[in-house]
Structure 1
Amino acid sequence: MQWTVEHIMKATGGQLRYGVAGAGFDGVTIDSRSAHAGQLFVAIRGERHDGHTFIDQVIDKGARGVVVQAGTSVALAHDRWQAQGVTCIEVPDTIGALGALAAYQRGRAAIPVVAITGSNGKTSTRQMTALVVGQRYRTLTTQGNFNNEIGLPLTLFQLSPNHEAAVLELGMNHAGEMSRLGAICRPTIAVITNVGPAHLEFLGSLEGVARAKGELIAHVDVRGTVVLNRDDAHVAALAAGANRKVVFFGFGPEAQVRARDIRLADRGITFELVLPDETIMIHLGTPGRFMVANALAAAAVGHVLALTAAEIKNGLEAFVPTRGRLQVLETALGFHVIDDTYNANPESMAAAFDTLRALRQGDTGIIVVGDMLELGDHAERLHREMGARAAQSGISRLYIYGHFAEAVRQGAQSEGMAPDAVFIGEKSAIVADLRDRLTTGDWVLVKGSRGMAMESVVEALRSRGDDPKPV
């Protein structure tokens, strides 16, 4: 969609410092590396980089306009830029202006917009939902982890006249963030997958997490729909104040969209999807039972958009888990690695342990864990509980890396795990010990928060002994 100076001024309330009032732009960018001719560059001031220092580069690449922040400490070459025919718009806050531009862009698209949030599973739910909605509509969806106040606008700038729907992922870790994201994307359908002990460092309690996630509901179109997890008490309680149509998904009879007869099959999951008017069998190509809940959320969106059961089935069965999200990987030496390293919190840890138990079916099970981050004052207790759950899963060995390793060890040994079955160390030492022990048929689960970079353990374990990967 084309942008004009009038659009930008209307969206941001900025001041035109110089340039042609009738100038137009082919798109909006914040990345000087990928900027190209004809674009508008918004100079974002981030934690590590200030976009104002890259304005010369984007102008050299042919950018026609820049949005700058008033009072920036970076020296700006306004005289030279004006002589080059560049249009400059000044705003009080460029991050706020980025969101305002994205909100304006969203307003130009009269299409269904699905916004998905939750403590666990929002990325997989978003992927499944995009596949379901995409069975009937040309659908824009979030790429990667572009789900915050910077990433969401960049996704919305990709909207084109060809798009018939959008499926967006919204992430947050502070109160007020979800409200700002909701104001930008103004969904017609909002999905809240669950409320768990993630981001307790900033939100304090599960009730605080629920309130923060629930901020999204106020920004749903009054004629829109809120899709809620009936099995999560904190999420289900949000229905009371929604003032919008509510559709529940879950495993109990109270949910309009539910699953029954769930079975592990071919390292995937089969279940019967029960919709208000139809029932159909589904086979998911992922082994995690918790993925069924994500599929139900996606199916509920499909139901709201009046898709048939067959269309919903086709979308769900096209889902393939992305790297680091419960991927079962085979090795040359015959042992199996479950890569669930994308992120971690207490609920996703417990779900991964359950998945390992189901998959190994009596074979040797081993868990490698890194810290769960952003748990604040609850971290010691939650890591002890995580260690206890690991021991309860019946594994033979537990490897622990991170600041809270001792708390995890204490939890494991409180449930009877032998001291010599617990190994605390750096990732390189963990891999070295594992290489000496793993045999054909063993199962190894590797998991930790994003900041722990546990994927390096997966890569090292998958490499051949004669060509080891560094950790």
Structure 2
Amino acid sequence: MGAVPVTGAVTVDSRTVSPGDLFVALPGERVDGHAHLGDAAGAGAVAALCSRPDPALPCIVVADPVVALGALAHEVYRRLTAGGLVTVGITGSSGKTSTKDLLGQVLGAAGPTVSPVGSFNNDIGLPLTVLTADAGTRYLVLEMGARGSGHIARLTRVARPRVGVVLNVGSAHLGEFGSADGIAAAKGELVEALPADGTAVLNADDPRVRAMATRTRARVLSTGLAPDAEVRAEDVELDERARGRFTLVTAGERHPVELQVIGAHQVSNALSAAGAALAVGLAPAQVAAALTAAGPRSRWRMEVDVRADGVTVVNDAYNANPESMRAALAALAGLAGRRRVAVLGAMAELGPDAPAEHERLGREAVRSGVDLLVAVGPDAVALHAGAAAEWAQRYGRDPGRGQEEGVVHVPDREGAAALLAGVLEPGDVVLVKASRSYGLELLAAELLAAPPAGSVTA
């Protein structure tokens, strides 16, 4: 077979293939990409990267298409960095995508930037992100996730960043890591991979992240609310829509920032994005202006929509862990509304501490001031129990009386939709959040599509 020029993109989804693309046939438990080689060919793919030959397309046969995808991305990356591409890697237990979105917009104001919408942070998503860059790309922003030791180190071998950002060490995937120290060890693989002339941007407000300064040869730039942070926020406040306003203080300069994203936790994300932008050479005033202009990009992350009858739905259902749940509840508390309703599903991958974490979250949700908490699904029983106990303690009522007392448990998404259809009124604000596997983003969509209370449908 002669050389086949790939003039399009590299894709793993036969439904998105365009003429000139290279299709990567990924094996999977539910869907095997090899079964869709014919579809890819019909859509215009010129070749496939796969583990077995197929007459539908010219095939590059490899032992493992995922490993081969990473190798292809690494070679493209090596050539692009030789041409001056500057790369930023971002990791943390929560906030990676939001920070990536902010940073992508800040750097995009300074030059051509690749920072894809959504979360592409694993052995498939990161190479695909790299492969969307070209010779005209000036900045590449990579999100790096981990479900175990060595995962981030492997991603940095595909694309070694010049700037590494570590946001926090929380409880996400605690069941796989075993401890917060294990999570910190894995997240720190990013700063260990940085070159000596690179920069590690570390959140000074997180002790485990701050301690990573000893694990890197690179220059360390600290961010946060801590008074000794080199990039810090002062005069922090929230507006009526729970958007952060603050003064960006760095290098002897002070500049106002008014965020367009929801939640006090976004201030920390914005500071990390600012640190990365400063590390690649942007000026403080330029960074502050770009942060103020940056808006939400990726779906289901504090995504706010208002229904025709005035009910506000906050869809933060992409994922959940104890830290992101607390941040979302704090954001809900800061939003102006008639009543605040929290619709919460379970948090996955917390290990043996899961029941205690859910019980604690239920108590904290009530303490945050919600007027109604709806716990969804069998895995949210402990969340409901904690909330009911806290409600009874705070208000002196029988926690078993259910909905009328502000805490209710429903068996599934359909039950939640039916309940909410009868209780939501104009001016209510509803937060929907759970781990991604529970699919509560569908509930948020149903709430937005639901007819206003009291209306008549044909």
**TM-score, with length taken from structure 2:** 0.89
**CA distance 1:39–1:340, change in 2 (3 Å):** closer
- Counterpart contact for 1:383–1:404, Cα < 8 Å: no
Question: 1:56-91 deviations in whole A, cap 9, x for unaligned?
Answer: 44445554443332xx5xxx44xx57xx9x4x4332
Read off the aligned partner of 1:225 and give its amino acid letter. Answer: T
CA drift at 1:36: 4.3
Identify the residue that residue 93 of structure 1 maps to in structure 2: 64
Unaligned runs of 5+ in 1: 1-18
CA drift at 1:246: 0.9
1:464 aligns with 2:451: yes
Read off the aligned partner of 1:312 and give its amino acid letter. Answer: V
1:109 aligns with 2:80: yes
- Counterpart contact for 2:98–2:269, Cα < 8 Å: yes
Question: 1:28-78 deviations in whole A, cap 9, x for unaligned?
Answer: 333333334444433322232323333344445554443332xx5xxx44x
Read off the aligned partner of 2:96 and give its amino acid letter. Answer: K
Of 383-392 and 170-179, more deviation after overlay is shown by: 170-179
Identify the residue that residue 308 of structure 2 maps to in structure 1: 332
Identify the residue that residue 387 of structure 1 maps to in structure 2: 362
In structure 2, distance between residues paired with 1:353 and 1:54: 43
1:438 aligns with 2:424: yes
- Counterpart contact for 2:203–2:223, Cα < 8 Å: yes
Identify the residue that residue 163 of structure 2 maps to in structure 1: 189
RMSD: 2.2
Identify the residue that residue 16 of structure 1 maps to in structure 2: none
- Counterpart contact for 2:162–2:194, Cα < 8 Å: yes
- Counterpart contact for 1:200–1:375, Cα < 8 Å: yes
Read off the aligned partner of 2:190 and give its amino acid letter. Answer: L
In structure 2, distance between residues paired with 1:325 and 1:385: 23
Read off the aligned partner of 2:11 and give its amino acid letter. Answer: T
The correspondence for 2:329, drawn from 349, 353, 366, is 353
Matches for 1:366-381 after TM superposition, within 5 Å: 366-381=341-356
In structure 1, distance between residues paired with 2:355 and 2:88: 37
In structure 1, distance between residues paired with 2:342 and 2:24: 45
- Counterpart contact for 1:30–1:42, Cα < 8 Å: yes
- Counterpart contact for 2:192–2:215, Cα < 8 Å: no
Identify the residue that residue 26 of structure 1 maps to in structure 2: 7
- Counterpart contact for 1:143–1:155, Cα < 8 Å: no
CA drift at 1:144: 1.8
1:67 aligns with 2:49: yes
- Counterpart contact for 2:91–2:144, Cα < 8 Å: yes
Structure number with greater Rg is: 1
In structure 1, distance between residues paired with 2:365 and 2:42: 56
**CA distance 1:23–1:270, change in 2 (3 Å):** same
CA drift at 1:23: 4.8
Structure 2 SS opposite 1:329: strand
Identify the residue that residue 23 of structure 2 maps to in structure 1: 41
CA drift at 1:256: 0.4
Structure 2 SS opposite 1:109: helix
The number of equivalent residue pairs is 437
In structure 2, distance between residues paired with 1:38 and 1:286: 38
CA drift at 1:303: 1.1
Of 404-413 and 189-198, more deviation after overlay is shown by: 404-413
In structure 2, distance between residues paired with 1:58 and 1:433: 44
Matches for 1:296-315 after TM superposition, within 5 Å: 296-315=271-290
**CA distance 1:454–1:53, change in 2 (3 Å):** closer
CA drift at 1:199: 0.6
In structure 2, distance between residues paired with 1:33 and 1:440: 40
CA drift at 1:399: 0.7
CA drift at 1:345: 0.8
Identify the residue that residue 265 of structure 1 maps to in structure 2: 239
Structure 2 SS opposite 1:390: helix
In structure 2, distance between residues paired with 1:446 and 1:90: 44
In structure 2, distance between residues paired with 1:58 and 1:143: 24
Identify the residue that residue 32 of structure 2 maps to in structure 1: 50
Structure 1 SS opposite 2:221: strand
In structure 2, distance between residues paired with 1:368 and 1:269: 24
- Counterpart contact for 2:377–2:413, Cα < 8 Å: no
Unaligned runs of 5+ in 2: none
In structure 2, distance between residues paired with 1:351 and 1:94: 38
